[in-house]
Every structure is written in structure tokens, then in C-alpha cells.
Amino acid sequence: MTSLNLVLPAGLTALPSLAEKPIPYLITAILLLSVTYCAGVRRPKLPILNPKTTTKEFMLKSKQLFEEGRKKFPNQPYMMQTYLGNAVVLPPQMLDEVKNLLELDFWPAVEKDHNGHLPGFEPFKANYEGPNMINRHLTKSLSKISRYVRNPSNRQGSPLTLPRSDWHEMWPSRDLAALVARTSARLFLGEELCRNTDWVRASSAYTHTVFQAVQVLRQFPPVLRPIANRLLPICKQTRAALKACRDVMRPVVAARQARKLEASAKGEPEPVYDDALEWCQKEYAADRDPADSQISLAMVAIHPTTDQLTETMIQIARHPELFELLREEITTVLGIKGIQKTALYNLKLLDSVIKESQRLKPVSISNFRRVAVSDVTLSNGLRLCKGDNVWIDVVHMWDSNVWTDAEKFDPCRFVKLRGTERDHHMAHLVSTSPEHMGFGHGRQACPGRFFAAHEMKILLCHMLLKYDWKISEGYDHPPMAYGLSLISNPRTTLMIRRRKEELDLDQLEIGG
């Protein structure tokens, strides 16, 4: 008899055989047939680019698939087989039509992409209160970032405190992550929790584990992921890690509440906590766990910012003539105005360098991802059905029909645009447009982009004035595409050394 050598994902080898317990397999088969049938009935009538692509192939070849789709179906929608099933890929020419549609929503896309509906993945649940919290509180607290960057207690052991004047190795993906995390932690967590080693340990363990679990679950059809989540060891570890985070956070929140009640009972003013932990308590639904909110905020704030900082430092190292130009701009502008929002706005070359780095390597191949929350028919007659994944890729950000010398890094590209009436709206790092979707576009463009831009500029000012750096010989690797993610290659390392700064940023006046 011929045997079938099936390779099962790790953790599923212990499932009972069909002969032992046929009912679970029968139910699964019926569910799969139902989902397949329904998808076929409701699927938009579009050409399919890659009907036979497996999840693994999509994860490894996604960038090539989008480029192939653009060539095969120029300026028209098509279907792509992905790890989420089929996705409708729209051309960027349709972005202005769909960017503000209420029928297309970003948050269900995040939840669907990261399994936020499953136990252990709750930080990825749809979070409609998040933008309100960011706009009402976080964006208004930008000046605090400057204080936390120069506070030694918040940056001990970070690259900003390394005293060595000889060339030594720096690992951007690791060292910058620690730097951004320390800078953000004081603002997000407050004085008490940002120094809590139990929280740092638990939240780091969860972040490390959950992204592994997300990738493993993507190997399964969506209908099977709840079952896999119950059985896979990595998913069990994820649930345990999240519980540990909640266990650390719970007494901190309870203690704050007790202090408020005690003050109120005595007729005294309640203590004021001006941090994201408090803001989330005010803005978020009561049933949202505070630990989940903090983890979610950290993941969306720290990892993209770290990746963008890394890519910007790499591009500056590839174009060493920028060191002198950027340092001259920083010392001139900040030397007059100090560290305040208007001064950072006038760092036009630095702004352009970051934005151009982002154009060539955004954090995602598709920075416009939505799920249809109700049926909608577009102007070309295309009917999107409730539940459809709708994507617009960013391949046009590298298209010479859109940008002059699109494949070339031009540090002054957006400085030059500031002087033109037509394109002034797209010249700034925080501006979004169909041509540059680094922060997305439309009604659900990244609300934290003002915070991220401010933080990146502050950190780069410190790095540029205090350090020289260059790419380690033989370690200049291109960015990596994995699924929809585009990340700076973690194997790229820099050589860095301390220098005498022309301007002591730690002594400058900090304004709003």
C-alpha cells in the first residue's frame, strides 16, 4: 500500500486519527466546504493573479506578486490569493474614491490579520477609541519626548550614552528598538511602571511570542485557526505571556484607583497621572484590559518607528555627504529656536531624508488595508461584499511614471516639493497622498504619525550631533519582504563612534 508522507505544522501531530474520533474531522470538512462555496458565490468577478499560490509562497514572494499583478493588470483591480484567502487589490488610481468610504474599515483588517478575535491575541482587537486617545492626548504631549530623551534615567545603556570614541559595532534593529522603547515608555506607562522590571520582562516576552504565533497561525486556513490556537504550544505560550502582563498591570491600576478614592474621601484633589495608561482608562471601553491597551500602543509605536529610524540611518550612511549638511541644519535651526515643534518643522532636509527613506522602504507593501464591513459598489461597477479584504499596494512609490528617478535615493526630493504649489501638500513627512502612502492615506491614515515624526527627528538630532556611523563592511543588506511587511534587514550592522557635538542638545530650552 502506498503511504502518504504528510508534514503537519508543529503542534498538530498529536491530533486523534480519523478512525478514533471522526466527528471533529467531519465538522471541519463541512466548514471548509461551506466557506469555499460561499466565497465562490460572493467573490467579486475579477481575474485571479495567483490561484495556486500557497501561504508559504505568498509570505516569501509577496513583493514579486504585487509587481507581477501591476504588470499583468495595469490600472485595474484583480484578486490575489493570500494568507487571508482572497484579497481584492485595487490600483492606486482608485485610492481617492475609496479612502474615506465608511463601508471599508481598517480596524477589522488589523484584527483579522493578527487573529485579534482569538484568546491570547486580544491586544490586536479592533480599537476604535485609539485614534481619539492619540489625537486628544498623545499628539498634545510631543514636547515631553524631548525631556525623556535627555533624561539619563530613561536612556541608561542606550546608544545615546555610549562614551566610546573608537569605532565599534551597533546593531540598529536591536539597539534602536531599546532606545525607542525607553523614550516611549515614560510617556506611555508613567513614572512607576516604566521602571517596573516585571512589566518590562512580561511585555517583552509577550511581544516576542505573539509575533511568532501570528506567523504560525497564518499557515492555517482562517476557519481552522481557532482550533490551532487551542492546540499549538506557541499559542499556549502566548496566552500565558499575556496573562503575565495582565497580572503585573492589575495592581498598578488598582493602586491608582485607590489613591483617587482616598483623596476624594478626604476632600482633597485627586492625583493626576499624565500618561497613556491614564488616557486609555479615560478613552477606552471599560471592558478593554489596560495591559492589552499598553501592549497594543507599544507595538504600533515602537516597532514601526524603530524600523524607520534604522532605514534612515542606513541611507545616511550610504550617502555620507549628508552628515555635514544635516548637522549644519540642526545646529542652525535648533541653536536659534531651541527644541520646540516649530523648530523641528523647519528641519526641512532631515524631514525630507526620513520621508525619502520611507518612500523607498515603507513598513508594508500594502499601507492601505481594509475589510468591507458592508456591501458597496464602486464607480466602475465593482461590487465589494461584506468581509472582503481590500488592499492597495505601494509599488507605485517606486514607479518612474510617478516619481522622477524613482529607484534613486534623493535626499532633497521633498525639500524641492515644498517650493511648488501643486505638490506642497505632499512634501512633509506627516502628509499623506496617493503618491506616498508611508503613513497610509484617507480617513484612517496613521493617527500617530505626528508623534512618530517628532520622536524620530529628536532622536536623529541627538544621533547626528553625537555620533559618526558607517555600514559595517560586508553587512549592507537590502530590506526584507515577508508577507505584507517590509523590514530593514536585521543582519545589517553599523560601526559607530562618539564625536564632540557642535551643539549640546541637552542644554537647550524645550518648548511646545
Residues of the binding site for heme: 446
Region of residue 200 (left: phi > 0; alpha: psi -120 to 50; beta: else)? alpha
> What DSSP string describes 372-432?
ESS-EE-TTSPEEPTT-EEEE--GGGG-TTTSTTTTS--TTHHHHHTT-TTTGGGSSTT--
Which segments are annotated as binding site? Answer: 446
How is residue 234 written as a grid cell?
506557541
> What DSSP string describes 110-176?
HHHHTTTTSTT-GGGS--TTHHHHIIIIIGGGHHHHHHHHH-GGGSTTSGGG----S-EEE-HHHHH
Distance (Å, whole) CA 252 – CA 189: 10
Distance (Å, whole) CA 277 – CA 399: 42
Region of residue 115 (left: phi > 0; alpha: psi -120 to 50; beta: else)? left
Give Cβ neighbours of residue 137 (< 8 Å, ≥ 6 apart).
276, 279, 283
Rounded alpha-carbon distances, angstroms, from residue 80 to 54, 56, 58, 73, 379 = 11, 14, 10, 12, 21
